[in-house]
Amino acid sequence: SSVNEGESFQNFRFMFVEEEPVFDTRNPLAGSSLREKRMDAEIEHLEALLKQEEEAVKEEQTALNEARQELDIIMDETHEARKLSGEEQKDVSDKREELDRSEYLLEARQVKLVSELQSIYPISSIDDPHDDKTHWIIRDLVLTNPIQDMKDDERLASALGYITHLLVMLSKYLEVSLRYKLEFSASRSHIRDRVASSAGRDNVYPLYRIGGDKSRFEEGLRLLNCDIKQVLWSRSVKYDEKAHMLKNLKRFFDNDMFLPV
């Protein structure tokens, strides 16, 4: 628009330069009238340009207002989205805190139950001065080291029944799915090899030696040790392959997590 105005003023200047007005000496008002007409024409032209500029400005202003309105809408939507995002984040944070609290309460309950179980089935050791071996005791029943050296079959079966019940309860409290299923029945407990069962073999092994097959009893002890290992590993407690099964269980109870406060 400024260029058009420059051209208009340039044309206006030329209108006075290109043609010198011819003054009629006989009529001195004729030249003045001609100049006025030219000026009026130029003024009308400039007014038309100005009107065009005003209309262009109005159009630009309208477009700017529309852009501002769109921006306001976008800002409102962004604000609402951030608000919703903040609420969702708070909801997630609240749920995380609730989950952490539930996990803490569950762990506290597990510790309490395991501690009670430890008091029901206390485990200790005793040194035998005759053979320089350390024997292990569960609930006042001594298990020789190795277990196979034990002479009293009934006491052996009762002690293994205690261990079976102890493992069954630990697996429940700690939510450990034992690979070899234990079937507790006091001094006549059994252990089941699920892998052997799927292969069609006899999969139930006695955890007592009375009137049974010695080799099947030995296999039952091996599977029982595997379950003990699984329970220890569930709490990142090291399992000693060469140690007495009661020594490994004692190591589990001596874990910092289960020590009495």
What residue ranges do the domains of the chain occupy? 121-255
Q: Which amino acid is at 196?
A: A
Helix (H, G, I), strand (E, B) or coil at 160: helix
CATH 1.10.418.40 given to domain 121-255 = yes
Phi and psi torsions of 238, nearest 5°: -65, 135
pLDDT in tens, the chain (261 residues): 544 545 544 444 444 444 444 445 555 555 567 777 777 777 777 677 767 766 776 787 788 788 888 888 888 888 777 777 777 777 777 777 877 888 888 888 888 899 899 999 999 999 987 777 889 999 999 999 889 888 999 999 999 999 999 999 999 999 999 999 999 999 999 999 977 655 556 789 999 998 778 899 999 999 999 999 999 999 999 999 999 999 999 999 998 565 544
**What stretch of H or E contains 54?**
helix 29-120
Cα–Cα dist 246/239, whole Å: 11
| pLDDT at 17 (0 to 100) | 44
φ, ψ for residue 142, nearest 5 deg: -85, 130
- What is the model's pLDDT at position 251? 93
Residue 199 has a pLDDT of 54
DSSP SS3 for 131: coil
Q: Is the dihedral of CA 136, 138, 143, 148 positive or negative?
A: negative
Cβ proximity of 184 and 163 under 8 Å: no
Bond prior to 146 in cis (omega within 30° of 0): yes
**Phi (first) and psi of residue 143, to 5 degrees:** -110, 120
pTM of the model: 0.62
Q: According to the model, what pLDDT value does residue 29 have?
A: 54
Torsion over CA: 231, 237, 239, 244 (sign): negative
CA distance 74 to 68: 10
Distance of CA 150 to the CA centre of its chain: 51
Return the amino acid letter for 154.
E
Measured distance CA(31)–CA(26) in Å, rounded: 11
